[in-house]
Amino acid sequence: MRSIILTLAVLVTSLQALQAQVATLHAVGSTGPRSQRLNMVFLSEGFTQAELNNGKFADSVDAVVDYLFSKEPWNRYRSYFNIFRIEIASNESGTDNPYAVPAYSRDTYFGSGFHPVIDRLLVISSQGSSRANTLLATHVPEYDIPIVLVNDETYGGSGGPIAVASLHSLSAQLVEHEVGHSFAKLADEYDFDTPGYPAIEYPNATAKTQRSQIRWKDWIEPETSLPTPEGPDFEFSEVVGLFEGANYRSRGWYRPHDNALMKWLGLPPGAVTREAFVLNFYNRVSPLEGHSPQGLTLSVTERTPLSFSVTVKVPSEGPPLDVIWKIDGYPVGSGLTFNIASQNVGFDGKHTIIAEVKDPTPWVRRDPTGLLTEKVTWNVTLDNQEVDPAINDTPDSLLVEVGEEINLVMDATGPVPGQVGFQWSKNGKPIANAKSSVLNIPAAKLSDGGAYAVQVTGGDYKATFSADVVVVDGQTQNVICGEGKAVTLTANVVGSVTGYQWFFGDDEIEPGTEGFSGMNTAKLAISTPTVGVHEGLYSIRLTTPAGTETYDTHRVSVFNKPPVWDEDTLLPEGRVGAVYGLDGLGYQVKTQALLGRPVASFSASGLPPGLKIDSKTGIISGRPTAHKAAKNGDVIAYLVTLTAVNGIGKVSITRNLLVQPLPAGTVGSFVAVVDRSGVEGLNKGLGGRVDLVTSANGAFSGKLVLGTTSSSFKGILNSSMGSSTLQGTAIIARSGKPAPPPLELSFSIQGGTQQIEGILIDSEDEQNFTGWRNPWSKTNKADAWKGYYTFHLNTLTPPVDGLEGKGFGSFTVGADGKVKLSGRTADGETFTSACHVGSGGELMIYSLQKGKPQGSVVGRFSINDHEDLIDANNTIVGDEDLLSWWKPASTDSKARVYASGLGIVPLGITGSRYNDPSLTDPSWVVFNIPAATSDAANAAITFWGASLNAAAFSPNADVIIQAKSKATVVPDSPETKLTLSINPKLGTLTGKFSLLDDELLRSVTYQGIITNNGGSMSGEGFFLLPDLPIPFVTASKNSPIQSGLVRLIP
């Protein structure tokens, strides 16, 4: 493409040659003023003046530009860009390349070269960066995307503040990728582990796994599984998901696309990366370019036409920008111009007219700061427009029952929606926050009846419109009264009632009817109620401004004799914790329905704790909290006396009520493991535990630990007749600013298996937990499991190259089933936990570990007794799906041991009962072998992993284990100064060795434990070895420390 040369010169002095160098600015392509465009500037590096003169740099720039603007999203927004190149000659052609054979160095203007440690990393020197910034500030101070093209065909580039790319055949693709870093702030989506990269969130890399918290959640279809399965390498797919591996980590970090630009050159960017580019375009330039009138304050004193317009950017491809016009916030038009008569703007007073410009591109779904939208606002003051609101309809009076909806509507409009003001009042007092055209009360109460009004305002207009609301309680009341004793029936109604009329049955009670008075008021009096005469249903007809309606309000019963019990009354069986009665509705005791013998009230004595009787209905309800037992433990019934009373007398009967206890195996102490959530979930990826106590009275209480937080809870168990399962639910309030939503904890306990399963739920997440009961007591001891155990933790899927070490630990099971456990993970951090062993040998670990932030070991495993009577044969078994370790990326600048984190590491656990061999035979040592009696070795210790293969000497050694398990090492290389100490009582081994490489002394400690794994005894653990420093990258005090495997075998 042709270039317009703008002659601008700068005199510079080379470090190696004193010569005048001229920088020239060339406009490669211009679409508008720099202040309203994205300015892309290419700078030449390693081009001699002759090469610049023959057009090599210009041709290279053209090739990159042609490629880049043929790709999404650049092609759509080419009209937004000005493109320039700055030509500055170097003394020599090329760049520094220590990897070439032979290596070469070049005298170039920006001091570029390939990084001495990272072979494809092509950078410019710090002085070169200063020179580039000076040139940019001089020639294109409005620059947005600076790119240095280096005259070397070796593959390489970098994405710092200034993108750098070589002239390799993939140069244009390199620029596209590196600009993703320097301009769009994107991460590499590489899924190979490389220590040292910060664990921070990017637009295209995250450690979050909860759908609602993933930055690109708007691009993930509901049916897409998370995490998302991968496809073949190099094949692009439109699917957006959560693909594991990103930001130089193979586990625990995720990318939005399986294969896309930030992982493989030449592939499309994918929806999420494309969106990031577009957002950054609009972060630097506005979609709005101009507006008319220029003045943003207008005063209009008479009716007149008004005209407004805007000038906006025009994308090279795709849909044009949208322009929406609004008056006082309400949309009224679209297009580049907006014409309106002043009187149609609104009432006299102040108004706003807004032009809202927005790019409607489907390429952006998440724009939290509104980058794709720009507004211009005119403030308009109107006077003498002579406009009043249009009154279209007024609110109607209402007659409603308690619980029904009250909906009052005032229909008044102005020139533009939202310009009419409303204020509702009740009984002359304004109602707070009732300022819309509708007043709605979803469920009416009696107190909501009254005289309502709404005041309508607009400009100088003000008027009030009224409506009456009458609320009535239409529920039928039972009235029990004695014969000959006056009674009054009262209508429960509030509001403007203009007429009352009482009815007895279907008959209107007319004035003068004997025995009645007040038949045309809210209160009906019955002077001498008589059995069989005045008994039945009474109704009232209400006349109101909203109309007339009749309600059945009272049912009257009259007594002149005492009640009579139904001898067939039997009290159904209950259970502690179960809602009493058929279908959980309680049980209604029965009296005979005889004329003149209604019951005024019921009572009961001797009811089981937790049950009560309703004095009006005779319904027994509640949950029993105790059962009754004989001395031999048999369940026996409660003796309950039931009493029915009216004004004439009372009668009683006695009945048995049997309450069953809670199911066997459901009362006691339980412990459960809470599975890990995502890092933004309920337990922040740390897991948790539940400790629960159930009581024989049907109550429960406990403690919930989620990550670093803990909460207490309590509640009532829910049992049911004929079932051996219990349920419980507790709502747990949580603290915070603002306070997070409450947490719901629900669980079920199986009496037969003595297992507990449950779930934790909040508004955005849920997490399961599983556990077991403590069945042990003084009469039921945990003898089958009792003893001391040792175990190894195997990282079955090592998350980072070099993590070869094994974690280990030990625990003791007491006769009471209680367990205290401790150990170390392969990075040297400790973990501790306490629980009880289950009836099937179940055990758990939940331990937070030190660190910033903290990690954890969490999960469950078990002891296998192999169904024999030899406790010494017990082994430890586990499943990698049930036990895991998480070491998050550290925020401590001094951290060295896997500071970038390890993600979630599945753990296999193996181990067994362990006893000091000398207790069986004093001549035995660890591994259950005879003590050495000569200099002949009877064991060997080996070391593997970390950076040990780079050491000059190996610490491996033969070992002579003598009486009392005293160890003497015979090292392969005495220079390592290897030591070894064995504790035969605990099965632990510790020691240290030294390595001298490149005149750097590295002192190393190791530790482990001995256990029996499938009949083969070995001592295994870890050592922590600092890497040798990398020149210009790390030093001996901050080089990474990795974990290797130590193994002691007979």
Counting residues of the chain whose pLDDT is more than 70, the rounded percentage is 96
Structure tokens at 528: 């001498």
Decide if pLDDT at 241 tops 50. Answer: yes
How far apart CA 860 and CA 877 sit, in angstroms, is 10
Average pLDDT for 891-908: 87
Decide if pLDDT at 73 tops 60. Answer: yes
Place of tokens 């109604």: 493
Per-residue confidence at 252, pLDDT binned at 50, 70, 90? confident
* pLDDT tens track for 136-156: 999 999 999 999 999 999 999
| Identical fold between 288-382 and 390-471 | yes
Nearest to 42 by CA among 149, 151, 121: 149
Burial 285-309 (b: 16+ CB within 10 A, else e): bebbbebeeeeeebebeeeeebebe
pTM: predicted TM-score of the whole model, two decimal places: 0.64
* pLDDT tens track for 381-407: 999 998 999 999 999 999 999 999 999
Residue 15's pLDDT is what? 37
Residue 797's pLDDT is what? 60
Average pLDDT for 677-694: 91
Give 473: exposed, middle or buried? Use CB within 10 Å, 0-12, 13-18, 19+. middle
* pLDDT tens track for 518-553: 999 999 999 999 999 999 999 999 999 999 999 999
How far apart CA 925 and CA 915 sit, in angstroms, is 11
Q: Which residues, listed in sequence order, are joined to residue 705 by a DSSP beta bridge?
A: 689, 710
Domain 668-773: CATH class, spelled out: mainly beta
At CA 423, angle to CA 418 and CA 425, rounded to 5?
Answer: 155
How far apart CA 902 and CA 905 sit, in angstroms, is 7
Name residue 90's amino acid. S
Decide if pLDDT at 7 tops 70. Answer: no
At residue 1000, the 3 state secondary structure works out as strand
Q: Strand 855-864 relative to strand 842-849: parallel, antiparallel, unpaired?
A: antiparallel
Identify the helix (H) or strand (E) that includes residue 747: strand 743-750
Tell me which CATH code domain 288-382 carries. 2.60.40.10
* pLDDT tens track for 829-869: 999 999 999 999 999 999 999 998 999 999 999 999 877 77
Nearest to 399 by CA among 542, 553, 554: 542
For residue 956, give every residue at least 6 positions away whose Cβ sits within 8 Å of its Cβ, in sequence order, or none. Answer: 940, 941, 942, 943, 971, 972
Residue 1031's pLDDT is what? 61
Please provide the average confidence, as pLDDT, over all residues in the chain. Answer: 92
- Per DSSP, 202 falls in state B
CATH 3.40.390.10 fits 24-183, yes or no: yes
* pLDDT tens track for 923-975: 899 999 999 988 899 999 999 988 888 788 999 999 999 999 999 999 888 99
Among 11-25, 366-380, 681-695, 906-920, whose mean pLDDT is lowest? 11-25
Domain 774-914: CATH class, spelled out: mainly beta
Please answer whether residues 707 and 719 qualify as being in contact, where contact means their C-beta atoms are separated by less than 8 angstroms. Answer: no
Residue 1039's pLDDT is what? 86
* pLDDT tens track for 162-198: 999 999 999 999 999 999 999 999 999 998 877 667 7
For residue 408, give every residue at least 6 positions away whose Cβ sits within 8 Å of its Cβ, in sequence order, or none. Answer: 395, 396, 398, 424, 438, 439, 440, 452, 454, 467, 469
Residue 460's pLDDT is what? 87
Residue 736's pLDDT is what? 78
CATH 2.40.128 fits 922-1049, yes or no: yes
How far apart CA 320 and CA 53 sit, in angstroms, is 41
Per-residue confidence at 12, pLDDT binned at 50, 70, 90? very low
Domain 473-559: CATH class, spelled out: mainly beta
Per-residue confidence at 16, pLDDT binned at 50, 70, 90? very low
Average pLDDT for 883-902: 88
818 vs 210, higher pLDDT:
818
Residue 3's pLDDT is what? 34
1038 vs 446, higher pLDDT:
446
Decide if pLDDT at 627 tops 90. Answer: yes
Decide if pLDDT at 14 tops 70. Answer: no
Nearest to 140 by CA among 42, 12, 2, 279: 42
Domain boundaries, the chain: 24-183, 211-264, 288-382, 390-471, 473-559, 574-660, 668-773, 774-914, 922-1049
Please answer whether residues 644 and 563 qualify as being in contact, where contact means their C-beta atoms are separated by less than 8 angstroms. Answer: yes
CATH 2.60.40.10 fits 390-471, yes or no: yes
Residue 118's pLDDT is what? 77
* pLDDT tens track for 706-721: 999 999 999 999 999 9
How far apart CA 429 and CA 407 sit, in angstroms, is 18
Residue 624's pLDDT is what? 97
Tell me which CATH code domain 574-660 carries. 2.60.40
